[in-house]
């Protein structure tokens, strides 16, 4: 007997006694095979109708999209003929006119924001806008590109306007990836045009703003490194130099044009003898000269603390030979020093094995804590380093020359083994780094500072190692002046392409002249030199205790290295 299911309950219990209605006749497999009810037929019809409607709508959308693409292609093809393209507001305008108007407005806005700087304009006038040629007209698909171009133009305009003398000259892209000279500004009232020798989406764009080169950080004071530190000033040095600038240079520093500069400093060497052997007298004269003609800094050419250097960063000798001697206020400016052989433990006892038996070490002078012992923090010393002044027009190259002197490595010189001493240095490495620094310098004046001279007519005489290794670099890279010490006298030697100035007369002197090669001036007693650097000339004044505040001798050095005494 057929079964009828009660659909009013979720348990679907068969009602055996109910009369058969034929609504849900069931086979043995339980699948209904009778005709569907009216409600189910309506439901199926609705699904079919919805599917048909969806297909129709999709067809209409696809057809409309194809129609729009065809219209856009036709408008783009006819833009060069002045074909009218309907805009979003329903009005018609020439696409060529709209492109030119947009480009001109954007260029005019860029010119107004950047103070009149043009984009790739030429001396012969503005070149035509290549975006107006057939197939390259601006369309709505270029909106993203236009925004990118606008952002780049805004970045360019933000760097426009006047620049100071230290800024690099502006340049523009020549379309081939290189940089050419900056074009002249466009005439007043004319928008800057975009030349477009490039291709792709970069056509007609202004060049990206020039970015200053990342500075090379200088080695920390007391680092003890062998390499030349990057050109620049350590903490507090630039403030000290700026405070000593002459008023004329301070006023000129804000000019947009290359201003004249004047740099004044003193140089002294072989001085550290606790005020004895005329050291205090020389220091007093230095103070008077610097007060009369303010010095921006002082150069020490080595042998700073006799006889063997310092034994610690708190060594009382630093106060006795430096702090308590150079007390004049005019001498409380940065002191830039190099190491001499006596700073490298020369003849120090018990140094064959270094510390702790030998407490002497050049590392103590390299320790930045020495500068902290004074409020002025004027002591600055590294093994080899550079300093740049006058916006890069005057560069100093400080060299540790002791490692070049081969006789110091003799087995009998046990002091070469002191901690941080000669045996830890490599003159070859220093020479490579020095040449790289000289090659990178674009300064008008290049001044080298080292303890040992290339040539000298004093007691120690010439140093053939430096003649062999340093002098070729001086000639190749136009180093005009080499400031040195070692020989305890004042001297000027002219090599034709550079001058050697010996200023090792800071304390003990009295050594007579033993030769005369290249000599233009020789003084065997105590004194120092004052140097003034200007764009066309360097003036070296030799001051002696006998002559007092008036220079005993003056040497003029030209930018080509030649001199006149």
Catalytic option among 202, 417, 460, 520: 460
As a whole number of angstroms, the distance between CA 502 and CA 511 comes to: 13
Q: Decide: 382 and 339 in contact? Cβ < 8 Å.
A: no
Phi, psi values for residue 541, rounded to 5°? -105, 130
In angstroms, rounded to a whole number, what is the distance separating the alpha carbons of residues 115 and 158?
10
| Ramachandran region, residue 226 (left: φ > 0; alpha: ψ -120 to 50; beta: rest) | alpha
Cα–chain-centroid distance for residue 34? 91
Cα distances (angstroms) measured from residue 540 to each of 248, 292, 482, 498, 511: 21, 16, 12, 13, 22
Cβ-proximal residues to 119 (8 Å cutoff; 6+ apart), any chain:
107, 110, 153, 156, 172, 192, 193, 194, 205, 206, 207
- Angle among Cα 335, 340, 342 to the nearest 5 degrees reads 120
Cβ-count burial 447-485 (b if 16+ within 10 Å, e if not): bbbbbbbbbbbbbeebbebbeebbbebbeebbbbbbbbb
Q: Answer yes or no: 277 catalytic.
A: no
Angle between helices 95-114 and 143-158 (to 10 degrees): 20
Rounded to whole angstroms, the Cα distance separating 114 from 209 reads 12
Are 490 and 542 spatial neighbours (Cβ–Cβ below 8 Å)?
Answer: yes
Look up tokens 């040629």; give the residue.
Answer: 133
Cβ atoms of 313 and 376 closer than 8 Å: no
CB atoms closer than 10 angstroms to residue 11: 5
Tokens standing for residue 439: 């090659």
Record the tokens describing residue 384, joined without a space: 């080899």
CB 335 within 8 A of CB 379: yes
Name the DSSP class of 386.
E
- Active-site positions read 460
């Amino acid at each position: 007997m057929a079964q009828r299911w009660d659909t009013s309950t979720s348990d679907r219990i068969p009602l055996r006694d109910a009369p058969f209605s034929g609504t849900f006749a069931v086979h043995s497999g339980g699948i209904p095979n009778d005709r569907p009810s009216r409600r189910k037929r309506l439901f199926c019809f609705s699904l079919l109708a919805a599917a048909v409607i969806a297909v129709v709508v999709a067809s209409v959308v696809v057809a409309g999209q194809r129609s729009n693409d065809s219209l856009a292609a036709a408008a783009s093809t006819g833009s060069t003929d002045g074909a009218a393209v309907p805009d979003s507001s329903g009005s018609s305008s020439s696409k060529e006119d709209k492109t030119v108007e947009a480009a001109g407005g954007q260029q005019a806005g860029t010119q107004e924001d950047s103070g009149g700087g043009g984009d790739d304009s030429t001396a012969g006038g503005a070149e035509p806008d290549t975006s107006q040629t057939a197939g390259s007209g601006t369309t709505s698909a270029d909106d993203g590109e236009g925004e990118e171009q606008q952002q780049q133009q805004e970045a360019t305009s933000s760097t426009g306007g006047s620049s100071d003398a230290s800024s690099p000259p502006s340049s523009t892209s020549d379309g081939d990836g290189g940089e050419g000279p900056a074009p002249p500004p466009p005439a007043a009232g004319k928008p800057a045009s975009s030349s477009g020798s490039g291709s792709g989406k970069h056509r007609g764009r202004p060049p990206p703003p020039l970015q200053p080169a990342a500075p090379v950080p200088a080695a920390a004071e007391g680092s003890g490194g062998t390499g030349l530190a990057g050109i620049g000033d350590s903490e507090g040095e630039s403030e000290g130099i700026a405070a000593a600038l002459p008023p004329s240079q301070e006023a000129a520093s804000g000019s947009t044009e290359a201003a004249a500069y004047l740099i004044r400093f003193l140089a002294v060497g072989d001085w550290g003898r606790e005020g004895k052997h005329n050291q205090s007298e020389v220091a007093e004269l230095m103070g008077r000269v610097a007060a009369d003609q303010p010095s921006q800094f002082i150069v020490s050419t080595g042998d700073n603390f006799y006889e063997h250097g310092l034994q610690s960063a708190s060594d009382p000798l630093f106060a006795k030979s430096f702090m308590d001697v150079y007390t004049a206020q005019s001498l409380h400016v940065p002191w830039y020093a190099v190491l001499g052989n006596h700073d490298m433990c020369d003849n120090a006892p018990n140094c064959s094995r270094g510390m702790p038996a030998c407490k002497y070490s050049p590392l103590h002078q390299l320790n930045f804590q020495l500068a902290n012992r004074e409020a002025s923090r004027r002591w600055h010393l590294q093994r080899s380093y550079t300093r740049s002044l006058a916006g890069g027009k005057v560069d100093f190259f400080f060299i540790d020359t002791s490692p070049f002197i081969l006789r110091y490595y003799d087995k009998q010189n046990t002091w070469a083994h002191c901690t941080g001493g000669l045996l830890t240095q490599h003159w070859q490495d220093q020479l490579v780094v020095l040449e790289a620094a000289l090659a990178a310098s674009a300064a008008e004046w290049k001044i080298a500072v080292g303890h040992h001279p290339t040539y000298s007519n004093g007691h120690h005489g010439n140093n053939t190692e430096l003649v062999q290794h340093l002098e070729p670099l001086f000639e190749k890279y136009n180093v005009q002046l080499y400031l040195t010490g070692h020989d305890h006298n004042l001297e000027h030697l002219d090599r034709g392409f550079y001058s050697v100035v010996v200023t090792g007369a800071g304390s003990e002197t009295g050594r007579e002249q033993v030769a005369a090669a290249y000599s233009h001036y020789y003084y065997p007693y105590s004194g120092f030199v004052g140097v003034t650097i200007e764009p066309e000339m360097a003036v070296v004044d030799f001051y002696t205790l006998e002559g007092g505040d008036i220079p005993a001798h003056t040497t003029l050095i030209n930018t080509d290295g030649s001199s006149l005494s």
